[in-house]
Each structure stands twice: as C-alpha cells, then as structure tokens.
Structure 1
Amino acid sequence: MIEFKGVTKVYGSGGNEVKALDGIDLEVKKGEICGVIGFSGAGKSTLIRTVNLLERPTAGQIIVDGLDLTALSKKDVRGVKRKIGMVFQHFNLLNSKTVYANVAIPLLLSNVPQKVIKERVAELLSFVGLEDKANQYPDQLSGGQKQRVGIARALATQPSILLCDEATSALDPQTTASILKLLKKINEEYNITILMITHEMSVIREVCDTVAVIEGGKIIESGSVFEVFSNPKTKTASNFVSSVLNDSIPESVLKLVQEENSQGQIFKINFVGKSSGQPLLSQIAKRFDLHINVLFGNITELQGIPFGHLIVELQGTESEIKRALLVMNQENVSVKEVNAHAS
C-alpha cells in the first residue's frame, strides 16, 4: 500500500545541509495501522509528509498503490492525493466556518454536487459522533471535538490511506483514548490503511499493528507491535517500551537491594501467552533450594496476547540457580540477568 524505498530528504544547500531523512526503507501493508515513533527531531514529521508530497524527497521513491509518486506528473499526483487523508496535531480548522463547512471543504474543492456533499457530511458527522454540532464553530468545541471534525474532513473524499501527524498529542488522556478508539473503528469499518506518527508509545500499543522506530532520520527498528514490545533490539526502542511497560527496577527498590549487599542474582523474566497464567515461581521454589524475592512486575496485553514480566532475586547456590534457569527456559519464558548491583 505504502512503500518507502531509499527515501532521503535534505534541507538547505552547501555547508548548511541538514539530512532529515537518510535512506528510509519501510513498507505499510494494506489495512494496517502502522505507527512511526521517535523523539523530537528524529524525522518522523518529515517522513509522513512525504507520503502526500507535502515534502518532496531529495532521493528515493514513495510508492502508493503501486505508483511511484515521485515519477508522476502534477496532475496525476493530485489524483492520487485525493485518496490520502491527513489529520493534523493542531486540527487546522477554519474558525470562520461552521463544522459542516469545514468537513465539506475537500468536497467543494473536488466540485462534488451539493446534494452529495450534504449526504456525505451528514454521514461523516454521525460517524464521528458530532451530528448535533454541524452548525457550530470550532471555537465552540472541545479539543477532542475539534479533532473529530478534522478526522471527518480527512475522510470526506473516501480515502484509502489516512495520515495522522501527532493526532493525539494535544489532547488529554481520556480524549486521546476516545480518538484512538475512533481511528481503530475507521480502520476496521472502512478498511483504511493508517500511518501515524507519535512520540507516545502508549498510542502505539493501543491501536497499531506494526511500529517503526526512527532516529537520526533512519529506521533503526521495525516489526509487529508485539515483537518490538516483547523484545526491543535497540536502546531507543527499549527506552520507549520501558516508558509504557515500566519494566525496570524502581530506584527505591534498587537502592534497598544495593544497601543490603545481597549475594543473590537478579533476573528479568518475560511471560508470553499461556505462560503468563502459570505459577512458575511457585513451582521453582518447591523444586529447588532457593529463596525467591519478587522485586517488581506487571502484566499487560499486546495485540490480544497476554505479556508480563517479573524482576526477581534468586538466592541460593550457583548450581541451584542454574538448574532453575534451565527449567524456566523450557517453559516458554525469557530470562535475562539484571546487573542491579552495579554502582
């Protein structure tokens, strides 16, 4: 559906060049919700704006539905862009026009008959839950309502792709949850492919099928949400995941362990699927001569699959600890030692 091939974007010239994108390769399949996450300045906004050529890449190809947009004429590009809707962080509504008029703008620009416009706008306002706000103005709406108007406007031309540029970052957590639920509904009921950028890993966890981590204008890691959350391969991805899963030892607990100068070994145990509900530590404690001290842990759900982790301290002989680790590794859990005693 959307494919980036070697996409590079350079701003400036001569000695003042800044490379915002550096050889991006990424594929978003039809019907997916793909999230691109990165810190400020990583290049994510530039990346999403290349899809509809708001930013034309310096090099590389942007392929949408099999068409290389960089090789098309301006006329042909306009035709493709009608199938690409965009939702902005700060809504981009016209305050001088009503909700109805804001949603109707793309249709008016496409010379759609008034009767069709009226039917389409009514349908969309009902879909986003704002059928009673048609004659109000943006200043009379809450932030969440404004974003729903922006979403309705982006859907007006019946796009096959929806781009979301930090669509929830200006909203409070409760409103964010409602907007994410709406985006999921759009994806499922209209079969629209969604590419969203964000700096919030919680957004990725809630609605995305796949995720790509961008840093310094490069995709440093990508995969299914479950793959990246359960086994991040880069430090940046790990930091983002930790911000949501809270999978590190709290400083207060770490301090206590260090002060006690315990000779035990500390491990992080990841549980996936059915193993999340098994009394594994209880079984280990009964089978081996070990004291088990649970330091921290939680359980969540990723793409419908239970996923949890525990950070535990095992106190006992080296041989007993090794035997216990061998059993745990055979039970579909991941076990990694944590160096919590380092200064």
Structure 2
Amino acid sequence: MITFENVTKTYHNGKQIVHALNGIDLTIERGEIFGVVGFSGAGKSSLLRCVNLLERPTTGRVLVEGQDITQFSKAELRQHRRRVGMVFQHFNLLNSKTVFANVAEPLVIAKVPNAEIRKRVMELLEFVGLADKANHYPDQLSGGQKQRVGIARALATRPSILLCDEATSALDPQTTSAILSLLKTINREYRITILLVTHEMSVIREICDKVAVMERGKVIESGSVFDVFSNPQSDITKNFVNSVMHTKIPESVQRLLSEPEGGNRRVYQLVFVGASATQPVLFQAAKKFNLDINILFGNITELQGVPFGHLLVEFRGPEREINRALTYVREAQVDIQEAVGYGH
C-alpha cells in the first residue's frame, strides 16, 4: 500500500544541514493501523508528510499502490491528495466557519455539487457524533469535539489513507481514548489504512497493528506491536515500552536485591505469553521442587488480545533444585532471562 524506499529528507537552516530522514525503508500494508513513535525531532512528522508530499523527499521513492508519487504531475498530485486524509494535532479548523463548513471545505474545493456536499457532510457528522453541532463554530466546541470535526473533514473525500499527526497529543486521557476508539471504527468500517505518528507509546499499544520506532531520522526497530512490546531490542524502544508496561525494576527492589544474604539465591526475569500467563506455573514449581519462589516485581496485562506477563522472580534453594525448576518453567513456554547483577 505505502512503501518508503531509501527516503531521505534534508533541510538547510542557514549554514546548518538537518537530516530529518536518513535512509527510510518501510512498508505499510493495506488496511493496517501503523504507528510511528519517537521523541521530538526524530523525523516522524517529516515521514508522515511524505505520503501526501507536503514534504518532498530529498532522495528516494514513496510508492502508494505501486506508483511513485514523487513523479506525479501537479494534476496527478491533486488527485492523490484527495485520496489521503489528514488529521492534525491542533485541529487546524477555520474559526470563522461553522462545523458544517469546515467539514465541507475539501468538497467545496473539489467542486462537488451542493446537494452531494450536504448529504456527505451530514453523514459524516452523524458518524462522529456531532450532527447536532453542524451550525456551531469551533470556539464553541471542546478539544475532543474539534478533533472529531477534523476527522470528519479528513474523511470527506472518501480517502483510502488517513494520516494522523499527533492527533491525540492535545487531548486529555479520556478524550484520547474516545478518539482512538473512533479511529479504530473508521479503520474497520471504511477499510482505511491509517498511518499515525505519536510520542505516546500508550497510543501505539491501544490502536496499532504494527509500529516503527524512530530516532534521529532512522527507523531503529519495527514489527508487530506484540513483538516490539514483548521483546524490545534497542534502549530507546525499551524506554518507550516501559512507559506503558512498567517493566523497569524499581530502585527500592534493586537495592534490596543488592544486599548480601545467606543461602543460594538466583533472580530471573520471566516473560509469560498467551496461555502461560494464566497458568499457575510458579506455584506448581514451588510445590514440585525443594525451593522457595518469591515474586519481587511485575505485572500481567494484555497486548492485542493476548495475555502478557513480565515478572522478576527470586529462586532460593539448592542449586540442583533451582535448575530443575527452571527447566520445568521453560517447558511451560516461559522465557527466562537472568537478572544481571542479582543473586548468588
């Protein structure tokens, strides 16, 4: 659906050269909700805007439906942009126009007949839950309502792609959840491919099928949300994941574990996925073997409908019994990693 091939974007700020994108290779499949996450300045928005050529790549190709859009004529580009809706962080509504007029604006520009405009706009306002606000002005709306207007406007020309540039960053958590739910409905009912950029990993977890992590203009990690969340590879991804999964060991627990104690002790980080997350694996291990098992820290949550648990566990007892217990736990499809710096 959307493919970036060795895409670069360079800005010149006086004598300074900024490499916003640095060799991006990425594919977004039709019908996916694909998230791009990174800190400010990572290149997320530059990448997003290459899809409708609001930013033109310095080098490389951007393919949409197999066509290199960087080679489009002005007329072809106008047609392409009608197939790509865009939702902005700060809504970008025209304060001097009503809600109805804001949603109608793309259709007016496209010279759609008035009767068709009215039908389409009212259909969209009904869809986003704002049919009763058609004659209101943006200043009369809440932030969440403004973003719903922005979404309705982005859908006006029946796009096949929806770009969301930090679409929930200006909203409170409850409103964010409602907007994300609306985007999931749009993806499901209209079969629209959604590409969104954000610095909030909670948004990625809530809505996306796949994710790419960006840093300094490069994609440093990408894959399914489940794979990236359950096994992050880079330090920056681990930090993002910890912001919502809370897998980082608290300092108080680290201090406790660093204190010398008698007896044989081993500390491991255990990752439970799927059925293993709901089975009493550790309880059974403690019963079967001559040792004590102590859960020090962790949680069990859900990723894309699959149970996922991350626990820091202490094993106390004879070395032979600990090794037998570890084998038993591994056979229950639990990933085990020694917690470096603890134990013994």
Instruction: State the TM-score, normalizing by the size of structure 1.
Output: 0.97
Give, in angstroms, the shift of residue 72 of structure 1. 1.3
What does the per-residue CA deviation read over 1:269-302, in whole Å, with 9 as the maximum and x for residues that have no partner?
1111111111100111112221111111211111
Contact 2:299 2:311 in 1 (8 A): yes
What does the per-residue CA deviation read over 1:67-105, in whole Å, with 9 as the maximum and x for residues that have no partner?
101111121111111100000000000111100000000
Give, in angstroms, the shift of residue 15 of structure 1. 5.0
With 257-266 and 152-161 compared, the bigger mean Cα shift is at 257-266
Amino acid paired to 1:52:
N
User: 5 Å matches for 1:141-180?
Assistant: 141-180=141-180
Distance in 2 between residues matched to 1:222 and 1:329, nearest whole Å: 27
Aligned to 2:277: 276
Give, in angstroms, the shift of residue 340 of structure 1. 4.9
Give, in angstroms, the shift of residue 259 of structure 1. 3.7
User: 5 Å matches for 1:75-114?
Assistant: 75-114=75-114
Give, in angstroms, the shift of residue 253 of structure 1. 2.2
Distance in 1 between residues matched to 2:45 and 2:5, nearest whole Å: 17
1:12 match: secondary structure: strand
What does the per-residue CA deviation read over 1:127-147, in whole Å, with 9 as the maximum and x for residues that have no partner?
000011000010110000000
Amino acid paired to 1:303:
Q
Aligned to 1:4: 4
Contact 2:289 2:325 in 1 (8 A): yes
Distance in 2 between residues matched to 1:246 and 1:220, nearest whole Å: 21
User: 5 Å matches for 1:159-238?
Assistant: 159-238=159-238
User: 5 Å matches for 1:12-51?
Assistant: 12=12, 15-51=15-51
User: 5 Å matches for 1:240-319?
Assistant: 240-259=240-259, 261=261, 264-319=265-320
Distance in 1 between residues matched to 2:259 and 2:323, nearest whole Å: 25
Amino acid paired to 2:312:
I
Distance in 2 between residues matched to 1:258 and 1:250, nearest whole Å: 13
Q: 1:340 to 1:169 in 2, by over 3 A?
A: farther
Contact 2:84 2:161 in 1 (8 A): yes
2:57 match: secondary structure: coil
Aligned to 2:329: 328
With 249-258 and 82-91 compared, the bigger mean Cα shift is at 249-258
Distance in 2 between residues matched to 1:140 and 1:318, nearest whole Å: 69
In structure 2, the gaps of 5 or more residues are none
What does the per-residue CA deviation read over 1:293-343, in whole Å, with 9 as the maximum and x for residues that have no partner?
11112111111111112111111233322222122111111111112549x
In structure 1, the gaps of 5 or more residues are none
Instruction: State the TM-score, normalizing by the size of structure 2.
Output: 0.96
Distance in 1 between residues matched to 2:143 and 2:14, nearest whole Å: 42
Amino acid paired to 1:306:
P
What does the per-residue CA deviation read over 1:20-46, in whole Å, with 9 as the maximum and x for residues that have no partner?
100000000000000000111111011
4+ runs deviating over 4 angstroms:
260-263
Amino acid paired to 1:296:
F
Contact 1:249 1:295 in 2 (8 A): no
With 290-299 and 30-39 compared, the bigger mean Cα shift is at 290-299
With 319-328 and 271-280 compared, the bigger mean Cα shift is at 319-328
Amino acid paired to 1:154:
A
Contact 1:254 1:340 in 2 (8 A): no
What does the per-residue CA deviation read over 1:171-206, in whole Å, with 9 as the maximum and x for residues that have no partner?
000000000000000000000000000011110011
Amino acid paired to 1:336:
Q
Give, in angstroms, the shift of residue 257 of structure 1. 2.6
Distance in 1 between residues matched to 2:261 and 2:186, nearest whole Å: 54
With 110-119 and 325-334 compared, the bigger mean Cα shift is at 325-334
Amino acid paired to 2:150:
G
Distance in 1 between residues matched to 2:260 and 2:178, nearest whole Å: 46
With 250-259 and 32-41 compared, the bigger mean Cα shift is at 250-259
Contact 1:2 1:29 in 2 (8 A): yes
Amino acid paired to 1:253:
V
Alignment RMSD: 1.4
Distance in 1 between residues matched to 2:249 and 2:260, nearest whole Å: 16
Contact 2:266 2:342 in 1 (8 A): no
1:249 match: secondary structure: coil
